[in-house]
Structures are given as C-alpha cells and as structure tokens.
C-alpha cells in the first residue's frame, strides 16, 4: 500500500493525497496545487431544478441534466420523475466497458410521457454567442472539443455548424430504438468504460453523473446479449428505490455539491496540470489531454 502507482486519477481527495515530488517553485502547479488555490468563485452549484437523484439501495447517484442540449428530453425526464415512473424499475443492462442502463427495460410501464415522441436532440447549432471553452488539444472524433455549461462537447464550426455532447465516462443518455427520435427518456444509460465516441451525434445525451458513478459502474455485468440480464439474473437486478428532482425535495434531503467551473482561468490551469503531470511520480508528461480524460472535480458544498 506504500505504492501509489499508478498515481491519482481524478478525485479531489485523491489529488490531495499524492505526494508532490518537485521542489522547483517555478514549475507549473500540479493538479492538487491548482485545486488548493481555487477560490469559492471557481466552483458552481448545479441548479436543483436540473439535478436528478437516482436513489439505489446502495446509495445515491446524482445526475446533472443538460437542458441547453436536450430541452425536450430533459423536460420529459422531469415529467417521468414527477410521475414516479422510475420508482421500482430495474437497472436492466450492464455491458462491460460500455454502458449501464436503467428504467423501463421490460417496457412494462407505459404512460403518456414514456411514449411521447421527441425530436433528435443529439446536436445543437453552433453560434458565436455560445460560451464554449475550447480545448486546444487535437481530437480524432471532432474538429474541436471543449466545455459548455460544464459539459464536454464536440465542435464543428464548418461546414455543419454543430455542437454536441460527447460520450465520456459518466455521461448519461436516453436509450432509443432504431430511429433517432424514438427515445423518450424512459430508459437512460450511463457510460461505464472507454468513451464510445462513435455514439456522438447518434443518440441523445441528457446529462452527466456528478456523484455515485461507482454505484452504476460496479454492478454485475449482464450475461445476456448486449449486457442485458438473463431471465435467471432478472430476479437479482438492482431496483431503483426512487428518482427525484433535487428541487422537489426539502433542503435537508438534498446532496449539496459544488462542481469546478470550466469557464475560469483556474480551469485552464487545471487542464494544463492534467496535460503535463508535474507530480514527482511521472517521468514523461504526456503533453496532451483528451476531453474525455479530464474528469471535472466535484466536492461537497461548503
């Protein structure tokens, strides 16, 4: 346990736990040093009206919804939540290195919202007023990447003029059938492995997990095709205790979190600290960072 290798990943407390090996005070700061220097204004509090709690027997998954990107899906998910639609439904699919999927997997609980036809909201139109923070590092799947409203995005200014949420670890989307307008939000999935970026612009992302991702990622994998649980496994599926919007709960029942802002000078420092790791453990800084290899720090609200 003395061995720290391979060194820290992403968690704030983990970052703080790593020994700083370099004594050169002129060197760019490490991740831990950047975060220690963060001011209250470098953090934001997600809007409770766009915060979804997925309460499982093992704990709470906190999901921040992305209304700018998928307004109709987000509105419909809220309608489903207020209908208590998800309560008691299973986590029905866990495919290793891919997705965990929950909701009306068995298609046994139809209602007005769950059968509503929604538009394909996998893309929004680029315009220069969008407060996008661009990542200068090159990307294979998109001409450019960055962050918008704290979410990772792909950007193609020309010719298409498109901006879209990218399928990074922890992103949440709406399962669909064969056509892009067939997902109502009644089945949601979270990415639990290598970013399946080939899904970008093919399926609607609706948000990301801020906390509790490990509860979705550590579930037993389904042995059926595509990671669905087999009939034998179904009785042991994890059931959703309840799904609620934070704004529908009293303050005392909420999980108050703060998320590092992506539109600050400090965030630029954070990106550089991840691009070229300065902790003493590293011998060769990568000189590059992928938009999906840069988890955004989340902490308890202070």
Structure tokens at 70: 């998928």
> Between 46 and 175, whose beta carbon lies closer to its own copies?
175
Please report, as residue ranges, which positions from 10 to 29 form the binding site for its own copies (by CB under 8 A). Answer: 10-11, 13-14, 17, 19, 21
In the complex, the smallest distance separating the C-beta of residue 100 from its own copies, rounded to whole angstroms, is 10
Please report, as residue ranges, which positions from 225 to 244 form the binding site for its own copies (by CB under 8 A). Answer: 225-228
The verdict on 196 binding its own copies (CB under 8 A) reads: yes
> Between 148 and 289, whose beta carbon lies closer to its own copies?
289
Please report, as residue ranges, which positions from 26 to 85 form the binding site for its own copies (by CB under 8 A). Answer: none
Start-to-end CA distance of the chain, whole Å, equals 31
| Stretch of 43-51, 65-73, 125-133, 286-294 contacting its own copies, by CB under 8 A | 286-294
In the complex, the smallest distance separating the C-beta of residue 11 from its own copies, rounded to whole angstroms, is 8
Do the Cβ atoms of 233 and 222 come closer than 8 Å? Answer: yes
| Stretch of 66-74, 111-119, 162-170, 239-247 contacting its own copies, by CB under 8 A | 162-170
In the complex, the smallest distance separating the C-beta of residue 250 from its own copies, rounded to whole angstroms, is 28
The whole-angstrom separation of Cα 288 and Cα 140 is 13
Q: What are phi and psi of 33, to 5 degrees?
A: -65, -40
Going across the sheet that includes 257-260, the strands are 43-44, 257-260, 298-300
Greatest CA separation found in the chain? 62
In the complex, the smallest distance separating the C-beta of residue 88 from its own copies, rounded to whole angstroms, is 17
Binding-site size for its own copies (CB under 8 A) equals: 80
Range 270-300 burial, b when 16+ CB lie within 10 A, else e: bbebbbbbbbeeeeeeeeebbbbbbbbbbbe
Please report, as residue ranges, which positions from 170 to 189 form the binding site for its own copies (by CB under 8 A). Answer: 170, 173, 175-178, 180, 183, 187, 189
Do the Cβ atoms of 191 and 205 come closer than 8 Å? Answer: no
Q: Report CA-CA distances (Å) from 135 to 150, 160, 161, 236.
A: 13, 19, 17, 43
The verdict on 288 binding its own copies (CB under 8 A) reads: yes
In the complex, the smallest distance separating the C-beta of residue 96 from its own copies, rounded to whole angstroms, is 4
The verdict on 136 binding its own copies (CB under 8 A) reads: no
């Amino acid at each position: 346990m003395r061995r720290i290798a391979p060194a820290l990943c992403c968690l704030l407390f983990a970052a703080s736990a790593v020994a700083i090996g370099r004594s050169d005070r002129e060197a760019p700061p490490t991740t831990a040093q950047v975060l220690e220097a963060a001011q209250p204004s470098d953090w934001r509090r997600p809007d409770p009206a766009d915060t979804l709690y997925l309460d499982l027997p093992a704990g709470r998954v906190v999901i921040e919804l992305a209304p700018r990107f998928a307004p109709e899906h987000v509105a419909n998910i809220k309608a489903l939540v207020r209908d208590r639609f998800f309560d008691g439904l299973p986590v029905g699919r866990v495919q290793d290195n891919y997705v965990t999927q929950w909701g009306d997997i068995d298609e046994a609980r139809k209602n007005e919202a769950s059968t509503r036809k929604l538009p394909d909201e996998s893309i929004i139109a680029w315009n220069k007023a969008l407060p996008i923070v661009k990542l200068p590092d090159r990307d294979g799947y998109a001409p450019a990447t960055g962050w918008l409203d704290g979410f990772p995005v792909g950007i193609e200014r020309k010719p298409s003029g498109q901006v879209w949420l990218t399928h990074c670890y922890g992103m949440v989307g709406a399962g669909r059938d064969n056509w892009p307008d067939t997902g109502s939000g009644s089945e949601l999935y979270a990415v639990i492995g290598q970013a399946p970026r080939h899904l970008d612009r093919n399926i609607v992302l609706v948000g990301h997990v801020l906390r509790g991702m490990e509860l979705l990622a550590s579930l037993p994998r389904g042995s059926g095709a595509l990671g669905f649980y087999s009939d034998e496994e179904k009785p042991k599926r994890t059931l959703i205790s309840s799904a609620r919007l934070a704004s529908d709960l009293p303050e005392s029942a909420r999980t108050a979190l703060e998320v590092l802002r992506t539109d600050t000078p400090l965030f630029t420092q954070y990106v550089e600290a991840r691009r070229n790791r300065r902790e003493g453990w590293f011998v060769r800084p990568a000189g590059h960072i992928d938009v999906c290899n840069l988890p955004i720090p989340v902490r308890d609200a202070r």
